[in-house]
Amino acid sequence: MNLKQLSHMLALSQTTVSRALNGYPEVNEETRRRVIDAAKRHGYRPNPSARRLATGKTGMIGYVLPTGAAVDIDPHFVEFLSGLGDYARSHELDLVLSPADADDQETTYRRIVANRQVDAVYISSPRPADRRVALVNTLGIPFIVHGRSEGLDFDYPFTDIDNEGAFHEAARLLVQLGHRRLALINGDDGETFAIHRERGVRRALAASGLVLGEGHVCSLVMTEENGYRAARRLLERSDAPTAIVCSSLIMALGVVRAVRDLGLTIPGDLSLIAHDDVFPWLKPENFSVPLSTTRSSIRLAGARIAERLAARISGLEEGARGEVWPVDLVIRGSVAGAPG
Amino acid sequence: MNLKQLSHMLALSQTTVSRALNGYPEVNEETRRRVIDAAKRHGYRPNPSARRLATGKTGMIGYVLPTGAAVDIDPHFVEFLSGLGDYARSHELDLVLSPADADDQETTYRRIVANRQVDAVYISSPRPADRRVALVNTLGIPFIVHGRSEGLDFDYPFTDIDNEGAFHEAARLLVQLGHRRLALINGDDGETFAIHRERGVRRALAASGLVLGEGHVCSLVMTEENGYRAARRLLERSDAPTAIVCSSLIMALGVVRAVRDLGLTIPGDLSLIAHDDVFPWLKPENFSVPLSTTRSSIRLAGARIAERLAARISGLEEGARGEVWPVDLVIRGSVAGAPG
DNA sequence: CGAAAAGACCAAAGCGCTTTGGAAGACTCT
DNA sequence: AGAGTCTTCCAAAGCGCTTTGGTCTTTTCG
């Protein structure tokens, strides 16, 4: 059932039927009702390919997915995706993942824009002076950045959490509890979020005349193994930290293991606070010693970004507005006063 | 730059240019070279929307993504996706995720097929007599099932691993080591893979005249927390198992925690084998006691399924061929002879 | 050498929608 | 009553590609 058949059946022109269905004003309400009714009754659905060719709109949002043997898609991604899906579903938006060589995403961005394959894109895990942000900005496709870049000479729309504030709070609490030697086990410091977190910790320490010691900050891909190694290395130092702030729950898993292996205890020998993106399958309250966290649902962020993308596509949102979400600090058993 | 302009520039008809570019035989090789060359030089890329309207082909594969507040996308999904992306990237295939209400995926499947939104789809986490498989089969779109259903009255193409064989081997080894009371901490037993795994364990036990005791098998969503709870419940029984086979590494994390909380040790008091889908961020060899596993890379499965889908789209693969991959059994420190 | 076959190309008809540029009739206003 | 204004509808022109159904040469072969 296509438009031609439907309009013939109603003894109307395609123009009128199309307009009636798309809510244009220049059609009699009585006629519109007839059309809508007939369309429903015959299960007419406009062919998206045709509509796409005519309008250029696709009803899809895009994401360039870095892949490659050496590239691991972050488990955070899936949680973000859940949120995106939550929103997209109720708006019949689909998501197009375009896999790209991690080292050459630019080509893919250009392709999906040139081909008009999607109405908007989002960018995640931005870095300082991120080239993707610059590219997408000049290509002129609607977009939102999940997180922030830095040092770009233009503004852009983003949704981020207050990483600096969160880690500032966490570190401040530890200092207040008497800790003098803090360490930070961070994510890849090429990414802005990690930079912000480190900045937050340093600022909190500086407020009490302390510094983040040389060798007391690690930047690693966030795996359990890296958490273990980093913690082990830290705790075996002569100036071992008495408190660690950690960028991910998965790494915290490794930290806990290292602590145990070394015959130490949490929070007796070491206080630990980690960032929690809220995974349904790994909860800080279920750690053997319940883990204190800075918490922000990455899933909610996904939903929000889908919402903003939809708004941008339909022209409801414009400009380079950035939004920064506050982060909760949730205290559980893994923090205590400094030992000794 | 569109076809019209390009053909005008070459003083050829659109027909000839189109055919030259698409490899049709009825065009002079010399002409073809000229055309291809000019296309490249001017950066001509056929508009996919137009091609789509004309041919019905989209160059995309689809996946209906169950979403909803109560639905968690499995972290396995992302690993699978990596594999899919690895292949898709090199073939300029995109992946369309269509979020759907978890309780009504049927509507979405019908929509994407009716709308010709994708050339093929894959189905994951199938259940016995899975309605999605039946639906997709009748809708007539190319598809591959990742895993297997059961009790369907037709054949269908799938790629699965030998879950039954793997868990049979694991259980057999434990029995050989003298274990008499095994337990199985399984995934959601609505899904076929869990059923197969249970079957494997039971078969191995039966071969030695043993059975999987009432209460010695748990079926749960695969989270750390559920692993902990299940293990705790099992180990506090009067007839506590001396060995556990576990369906996921994430659950195994919980098992390890429960063992420790109860003051027990691995493998002294309990032998443990878990299934490993090969996550880059959580490795069995890095457990405090290195974990024995049945191992199969879900990422490789993703790549394979992309490959088969591409083959089906282009007509290179047909029929309902199913393939079952063998699973490795990797022995590490977490297994030992039965205590006592 | 003439008929049939093969080779190389083209004009035009879709694919199914949106949108432009009217046109016809009904209504208002002076 | 005639000019202007709405209201409501339509024919036809795209959107940019593929594909059908030719035409015109050139080659092959009995």
pLDDT along chain A (340 residues), means of 10: 93 95 92 95 94 94 86 82 91 91 92 92 96 96 97 97 98 97 96 98 98 94 93 97 97 94 95 95 90 97 97 92 97 94
Nearest to B282 among A95, A101, A224 (CB): A224
* A1 CA from C18 C1′ (Å): 18
Cα separation, A168 vs A4, in Å, equals 63
Check residues 18 to 47 of chain A and report those whose beta carbon is under 7 Å from nucleic acid strand C.
Answer: 18-19, 21-22, 26, 44, 46-47
Q: Could you report the per-residue pLDDT of A139-153, keeping only the tens digit for each?
A: 999 999 999 999 999
Q: In chain A, which residue's Cα lies nearest the Cα of B56?
A: A49
Judge whether residue B3 contacts strand D, using its CB and a 7 Å cut-off.
yes
**Mapping DSSP to helix (H, G, I), strand (E, B) and coil, where does residue B234 land?**
helix
At A339 the pLDDT is: 92
- The reply to whether residue A94 touches residue B94, judged by beta carbons under 8 angstroms, is no
* B14 CA from C13 C1′ (Å): 14
Cα separation, B156 vs B121, in Å, equals 13
The answer to whether the beta carbons of residues B99 and A86 sit under 8 Å apart is yes
Q: Give the single-character DSSP code of B214.
A: T
Burial class (CB in 10 A: 0-12, 13-18, 19+), B246: buried
**Please, what is the average pLDDT of chain B?**
94
Chain A partners of B99 at a C-beta cutoff of 8 Å?
A: 84-86, 88-89, 94-95
At B8 the pLDDT is: 93
Instruction: Give backbone dihedrals phi and psi of A243, rounded to 5 degrees, phi first.
Output: -150, 140
Judge whether residue B114 contacts strand C, using its CB and a 7 Å cut-off.
no
Nearest to A99 among B67, B72, B85 (CB): B85
The answer to whether the beta carbons of residues B327 and B296 sit under 8 Å apart is yes
Q: Write the CB contacts of A208 (distance below 8 Å, at least 6 apart in sequence).
A: A175
Judge whether residue B12 contacts strand C, using its CB and a 7 Å cut-off.
yes
Instruction: Give backbone dihedrals phi and psi of A235, rounded to 5 degrees, phi first.
Output: -75, -15
Q: Could you report the per-residue pLDDT of A104-134, keeping only the tens digit for each?
A: 999 999 999 988 899 999 999 999 999 999 9
Check residues 267 to 296 of chain B and report those whose beta carbon is under 7 Å from nucleic acid strand D.
Answer: none
At B73 the pLDDT is: 76
* B169 CA from C19 C1′ (Å): 67
Q: pLDDT by residue for chain B (340 residues), tens digit each? A: 899 999 999 999 999 999 999 999 989 999 999 999 999 999 999 999 999 999 999 999 999 998 877 777 787 888 899 899 999 988 889 999 998 988 999 999 999 998 899 999 999 999 999 999 999 999 999 999 999 999 999 999 999 999 999 999 999 999 999 999 999 999 999 999 999 999 999 999 999 999 999 899 999 999 888 999 999 999 999 999 999 999 999 999 999 989 998 999 999 999 999 999 998 888 999 898 999 999 999 999 999 999 999 999 988 999 999 999 999 999 999 999 999 8
- Strands B243-246 and B292-295, bridge-based pairing: unpaired
At B68 the pLDDT is: 77
Judge whether residue A9 contacts strand D, using its CB and a 7 Å cut-off.
no
Chain B closest CA to A197's CA: distance in Å? 21
- The reply to whether residue B53 touches residue A53, judged by beta carbons under 8 angstroms, is yes
In order of their start, the domains of chain B are: 3-46 (1.10.260.40), 60-159+300-325 (3.40.50.2300), 163-297 (3.40.50.2300)
At A177 the pLDDT is: 97
Nearest to B224 among A75, A82, A286 (CB): A286
Closest CA to B123 of B70, B169, B180, B77: B77
Q: Is the dihedral of CA A270, A271, A277, A279 positive or negative?
A: positive
Q: Could you report the per-residue pLDDT of B27-48, keeping only the tens digit for each?
A: 999 999 999 999 999 999 999 9
Cβ neighbours of B315 (radius 10 Å): 8
At B340 the pLDDT is: 80
Cα separation, B222 vs A277, in Å, equals 18
Q: Give the single-character DSSP code of B153.
A: S
Cα separation, B211 vs B217, in Å, equals 11
Element (H, E) at A298: helix A298-313
Q: How far is CA B149 from the centre of its chain?
A: 13
- The reply to whether residue A85 touches residue B96, judged by beta carbons under 8 angstroms, is no
Judge whether residue B9 contacts strand D, using its CB and a 7 Å cut-off.
no
- The reply to whether residue B52 touches residue A47, judged by beta carbons under 8 angstroms, is no
Nearest to A49 among B53, B88, B283 (CB): B53
Chain B closest CA to A299's CA: distance in Å? 10
Q: Where do the H-state alpha helices sit in B140-223?
A: 163-176, 192-206
